[in-house]
Structure 1
Amino acid sequence: MESLADFQNKLHRELAWRKREVSDYRALVRNADDSANHIFRSTQVMLCAHWEGFLKKAVSLYLKHVFSQDLSLRKLRPELIAVAFYGDVIKAAEAKYPGSELNHVSLAKIIVAAIDKKVFSSNTAWNVNTEGNPGTDVVDKILRSAGLNNQIGFDEAAWSTTKVFINEQLVADRHAIAHGQMRVLSKDAMLERSERLLRLLDHLNDHLYEAATERKYVLTS
């Protein structure tokens, strides 16, 4: 069973190296000429890469923490039960007959056995998939699948502005640059975006740790 301290340390290590790298890019941008668009463009791509990478890794760490708690199906949120049996359901879908011992029957036995005690693996078959395009529609699907607040814990007003930042200032510009399109970006814009990304990464980190601390994965009556 993984402790909260261990989970927190894993999140911290994953976040720390990304924040160091973003800070290095901020220094590079700050010291660059105002006309150094190639530096600003490169920085834009890396900002989005760290958003995508941390989203995927942090949620994966959260799921591993949840499934290390040895909870039975009766105690898990439905979304997490779906994650737990994701691989088994995919495998069962390959069978042509419901009586197939290796597929449907095997899945049914696992589910029955897990009602009152944990018998499934901590390593689920579902890999958090950002689809290479971690806009807020993808964020919504990932967080809902993990039984988390789909607005990363932001209120409506804060989420409204955060959506614009993610979709337009992170993902859209990165997508255009990565596909060879010209984007003219200013030094001030890149310093502002990188600072805002650091705050967003911290917020996601805190949201996941809070969910683990408050055991948001447990089914409430």
Structure 2
Amino acid sequence: MNQGRDTIERIESDLGWRKKEVSNLLLLEKQDNQILIIKSTLLLLYSHWEGFIKNACKVYLEHISNKKININDLTENFKAITLKGLILEVYKSSETLTLSNELNFLQNFNGTKSKVFSVKKNFSKSEKDKSIINTKDNLSLNVFKSILRIIGIDYSDSIDTKSAFIDEKLLGNRNKVAHGNKIESIDEDFDLSLDELKKVKDVVFYLMDNFSDDLIYFVENELYFESNKNTTDEYLQEKAKKIRSHLP
């Protein structure tokens, strides 16, 4: 199995089981357990929303790292990722009272053009690594848009209309449940009916599906190369139009 096919299967498999779990939980809903199912599904939906975006990004970045591509041949976002890593090394160094940090930084920065893009070993399997992909344990729409830019798949403006679904309905209500608030009915403090939850689920699944499709398309067509920028721009423009028509 080639590297690209393995990456694609990992992304597809990770998305599949997550969507199945959420859908199966909703099927258990009855009149006498509705509020419990709403709360449980909400927590599970958020968990899979954050987990999939984080894991898929790491698998994608690891795929590119394994291909050992020169940084100068990649799109600007990969250069920014590399620059951020160098800056972090300066901050972590104990030599804070000398110019050693700054000199090392300049030497490393000037030498990046001749280096290959790389991430840490087992990067995709490290739950605690937030050096590049950081959901801030609260994956709001703005955080998701930031991650899109980091990955180089940026159609962020086209999803702005769904901030209420993600930030208010999903995150706001999820935080109330996760923080241990006693919730026994739908009211002002917990404003999420079963029908609304299903709509939130549909929006979240749509965003996850799109992100999966994008990563797979980028892997298959090697759109992480700067030389493919025109193709990338055309793809993202069409994707933005498609999302706007689906998420008015």
- The amino acid that maps onto 2:13 is R
Alignment of structure 1 residues 28-177 onto 2, 5 Å: 28-29=28-29, 32-33=30-31, 36-93=34-91, 94=93, 95-96=95-96, 99-100=99-100, 103-118=101-116, 121-123=118-120, 126-151=131-156, 156=158, 159-177=159-177
The verdict on how the C-alpha distance between 1:18 and 1:129 changes in structure 2, with shifts beyond 3 A counting, is same
Structure (1/2) with the larger helix percentage: 2
Whether 1:17 and 2:17 are equivalent positions in the alignment is yes
| Deviation string, structure 1 residues 152-181 (Cα, Å, up to 9, x no partner) | xxx73xx24333321222112111222216
| Deviation string, structure 1 residues 29-69 (Cα, Å, up to 9, x no partner) | 3xx11662122112111111111111111111111122222
Q: Give the number of the structure with larger relative contact order, counting CA–CA contacts within 8 Å between residues 6 or more apart.
A: 1
Aligned residues of 1:22 and 1:47 also touching (Cα < 8 A): yes
Q: State the identity %.
A: 27
**Segment drifting more, 105-114 vs 51-60:** 105-114
Aligned residues of 1:26 and 1:194 also touching (Cα < 8 A): no
What is the TM-score with the length of structure 2 in the denominator? 0.72
Aligned residues of 1:139 and 1:150 also touching (Cα < 8 A): no
- Give the whole-Å Cα distance in 1 for the aligned partners of 2:81 and 2:113: 15
Q: What secondary structure sits across from 1:122 in the alignment?
A: coil
Unaligned runs of 5+ in 2: 124-128, 184-189, 230-248
The verdict on how the C-alpha distance between 1:106 and 1:86 changes in structure 2, with shifts beyond 3 A counting, is same
- Give the whole-Å Cα distance in 1 for the aligned partners of 2:7 and 2:90: 32
**Aligned equivalent of 1:217, options 207, 215, 224:** 224
Q: What secondary structure sits across from 1:36 in the alignment?
A: helix
Cα offset, 1:139, TM superposition: 1.0
| Root-mean-square deviation over aligned CA pairs | 2.7
Unaligned runs of 5+ in 1: none
Partner of 2:5: 5
- Give the whole-Å Cα distance in 2 for the aligned partners of 1:195 and 1:73: 38
Cα offset, 1:12, TM superposition: 1.2
- The amino acid that maps onto 2:62 is K
Partner of 1:188: 195
